[in-house]
Amino acid sequence: MTLGKPRHTSPAPADVAAARAEVQQILELGMTAARDWCAARLFTSRRSFQQWEAGEREMHPAMWRLLEIQLAVLRAGGRTKVLAEIGRDLLRYL
């Protein structure tokens, strides 16, 4: 069995901002409310999220992956499809 090499890099600030903008669009929120939504799902503060967006500090790759999963949930509009996507991601590393 060979494990694939996972990506272990922090996202660019523009990627973090784009993720927040997508949340903002999907949920029809203002910028602050979208940051609050993202921060709550990452178990962090709005200020930390702002710092990631501004490039003042790096987001840990695991936090980025969690945000990607949360976005997938929003895009899918349901849990079943998201669980299937996560399962496919996991199989790539087996």
Quote the distance between the C-alpha of residue 37 and its chain's center.
11
Encoded tokens for 19: 């993720």
Closest CA to 11 of 58, 56, 46, 48: 58
pLDDT for 43: 95
Per-10-residue mean pLDDT, the chain, length 94: 64 96 92 94 96 97 93 76 57 56
Q: Which domain holds residue 35?
A: 13-92
Domain count within the chain = 1
For residue 6, tell me if it sits in a domain: no
pLDDT for 15: 96
**Reported pTM:** 0.74
For residue 82, tell me if it sits in a domain: yes
